Amino acid sequence: MKAGRILLVKPAQLIGGNPMRFERALAPTRALPYIAALTPPEFEVSIVDDSIEAIDFDAPVDLVGITSLLPQVPRVIQIATEFRKRGVTVVAGGVGVSSVHEELIGHVDALVLGEADTTWPILLNDFKQGRLQKIYRAEEFFSMNNMPLARFDLLNQENFLKAKQAASGHGISRISVETSRGCPHNCAFCYSSLHFGRTLRFRPIPDVVNEVKKFPGSYIFFVDDNIGAQPARAKELFRALMPLNIRWVGQFSSLAAKDPELLDLAAQSGCMNAFVGMESLSAESLASVDKSFNLSQGFGKTLGAFRKAGIDTHVSLVFGFDGDTSETIDRTVDEMISQRVHLLYAFILTPLPGTQLHAQMKEEGRILHSDYSLYDTFHCVFRPKHMSPEELENKYWEAYGRFYSPVSIMRRFSDAHRWLGRQKQQAYSHNLLGNIYFRKFVKHRLHPLVGGMPKWDTVS
């Protein structure tokens, strides 16, 4: 007999007070399948993605677990309220919940703060014994040894893009795999070092390889903040991945461009795309958030190093730093177009609670409100220095739209075959389709990373 029935919920983001819904997600997030793997087998577990499928609030469950980033926190409260009305115990965790947990404590039965690797099993045992505590806090960071394999098998596979080569009972096209946690940097606007620490922790490479082998045919996304943070270990990992014949994408620091061997091994192991957080081309702006290392060798050289290795580079930028004006934003986008960056991820600077940036802006009286559904990096929630919040938002979408204009797209793909990488045809198609996909989102003033493919007839 099972000890209880658990429903794990990925909440949607609210738009105008209502959940934003998608027809299908590009890929599942790793959090809930991993939490399911941490759950003792005596419990029956199911997972629901609120952004794709409706939640059955009358489902016969004993405990609901919700994990959330900051923009989904208002929806966490809605979901918790509905289940608690029905006498169901609700617990919540995740980076967003942890950052504003004092505001949530009255809306749920228990909070999981920090990493859940060790606290989730303790919480479940307390729940079974009828002695649930209000707060479960990880007292130390998890070593990443002996991590269970995430339970992607519990997901409704119809909710995600399909892999061409379904194997081992799965057909999901993109799978998230974790190989490390922590970030040695302490960028003022970023959550990472705050929640995962500044000391790098690594999962044993054989464990990573074993998980990747479970998903042949899937495009692997390594979710590490910086997969090349410790070059010697990264090279060992890449060598271990080479026999698997996979395709993958990962996040790299711009500093990786100084290590040609690292990038060459990454490419040989199947890296098709590198996500590089440049954030700004302004030395003043980068210095203001403790990220000056990004310009240590210049943007053009950084981009060139990845391309020389055969890796296409996707660049992220942040608009709204104190040094930003309408003119500097235009010049930055001009440079992205000139350098033929294939995919650009642009964001509006967002003072996330708990970060140095939030503390500074709060002290300066520049934060406009605490409607966390708008803390999604494409709404302005603070007073910029050189323009109004509305002007920054309008300039953001104008600049983003210019990058994804038909003329700009055609220009950067006119000679892409020269440097796109070892799997040129696949990379060309992947990036061209990505540009078309991003253009549609930007036209609707939606960020391409919101999580899936919207029902366009419901998007204004």
DSSP-derived secondary structure for 83-108: HHHTT-EEEEESHHHHHTHHHHTTTS
Q: Is 186 found in the same domain as 124?
A: no
For residues 48 and 36, the answer to whether their CB atoms sit within 8 Å is: no
List the pLDDT tens digit at each of the 460 positions of the chain.
577 999 999 999 998 888 988 888 777 889 999 999 999 999 999 999 999 999 999 999 999 999 999 999 999 999 999 999 999 999 999 999 999 999 999 999 999 999 999 999 999 999 999 999 999 998 889 999 999 999 999 988 888 766 544 444 455 678 899 999 998 887 878 877 778 888 899 999 999 999 999 988 788 999 999 999 999 999 999 999 999 999 999 999 999 999 999 999 999 999 999 999 888 888 787 777 777 676 667 888 999 999 999 998 999 999 999 999 999 999 999 999 999 998 999 999 999 999 999 999 999 999 999 999 999 999 999 999 999 999 999 999 999 999 999 999 988 887 665 555 555 556 667 778 889 889 999 998 988 887 777 665 555 5
Q: How far is CA 116 from CA 39, 135, 146, 376, 407, in A?
A: 11, 12, 14, 24, 47
CATH of the domain at 390: 3.80.30.20
Q: Is 234 found in the same domain as 272?
A: yes
pLDDT value at residue 167? 42
Among the listed residues 360, 286, 373, 278, the one whose alpha carbon sits nearest the alpha carbon of residue 381: 373
Q: Is 262 found in the same domain as 119?
A: no
Q: Give pairs for 363-370: CB < 8 Å, separation 24+.
A: none
pLDDT value at residue 166? 42
How far is 78 from 289, CA to CA, in rounded Å?
34
Q: How far is CA 202 from CA 54, 144, 237, 419, in A?
A: 37, 6, 11, 32
Q: Is 289 found in the same domain as 408?
A: yes
Helix H or strand E encompassing 275: strand 271-279
Q: Is 202 found in the same domain as 330?
A: yes
For residues 172 and 201, the answer to whether their CB atoms sit within 8 Å is: no
Tokens representing residue 460 in the block? 């204004």
How many domains in the chain? 2
Tokens representing residue 357 in the block? 């940036």
Q: Does the residue 161 lie in any domain?
A: no
Q: Does the residue 148 lie in any domain?
A: no
Q: Is 332 found in the same domain as 270?
A: yes
Q: Does the residue 328 lie in any domain?
A: yes
Whole-structure pTM value: 0.92
Among the listed residues 192, 297, 197, 224, the one whose alpha carbon sits nearest the alpha carbon of residue 255: 297
Q: Does the residue 331 lie in any domain?
A: yes
pLDDT value at residue 229? 93
Q: How far is CA 41 from CA 4, 6, 10, 436, in A?
A: 10, 11, 21, 44
Q: Is 193 found in the same domain as 334?
A: yes
Q: Is 113 found in the same domain as 174?
A: no
Q: Does the residue 335 lie in any domain?
A: yes
For residues 161 and 27, the answer to whether their CB atoms sit within 8 Å is: yes
Rg (CA), the chain: 22
Tokens representing residue 108 in the block? 């749920």
- Cβ atoms within 10 Å of 418's Cβ, excluding its own: 8
CATH of the domain at 129: 3.40.50
Among the listed residues 171, 151, 153, the one whose alpha carbon sits nearest the alpha carbon of residue 216: 171
Q: Is 93 found in the same domain as 176?
A: no
- Cβ atoms within 10 Å of 321's Cβ, excluding its own: 23
pLDDT value at residue 154? 93
Q: Does the residue 162 lie in any domain?
A: no
Orientation of helix 299-308 relative to helix 260-268, angle to 10°: 40
Q: Is 178 found in the same domain as 126?
A: no
How far is 181 from 34, CA to CA, in rounded Å?
15
Contacts of 251 (CB under 8 A, 6+ apart): 222, 223, 224, 225, 226, 227, 274, 275, 276, 277
The whole domain housing 211 covers 167-458
How far is 197 from 155, CA to CA, in rounded Å?
30
Torsion of the alpha carbons at 191, 195, 197 and 198, rounded to the nearest 10: 0
Q: Is 74 found in the same domain as 11?
A: yes
pLDDT value at residue 77? 98
pLDDT value at residue 456? 59
Contacts of 268 (CB under 8 A, 6+ apart): 238, 242, 422
Q: Does the residue 301 lie in any domain?
A: yes
Q: Is 261 found in the same domain as 175?
A: yes
**DSSP assignment letter at 279:** E
Q: Which of 137, 159, 190 is the last residue of a domain?
A: 137
Q: Provide the pairing of β-strand 63-67 with 4-10.
A: parallel
pLDDT value at residue 289? 73
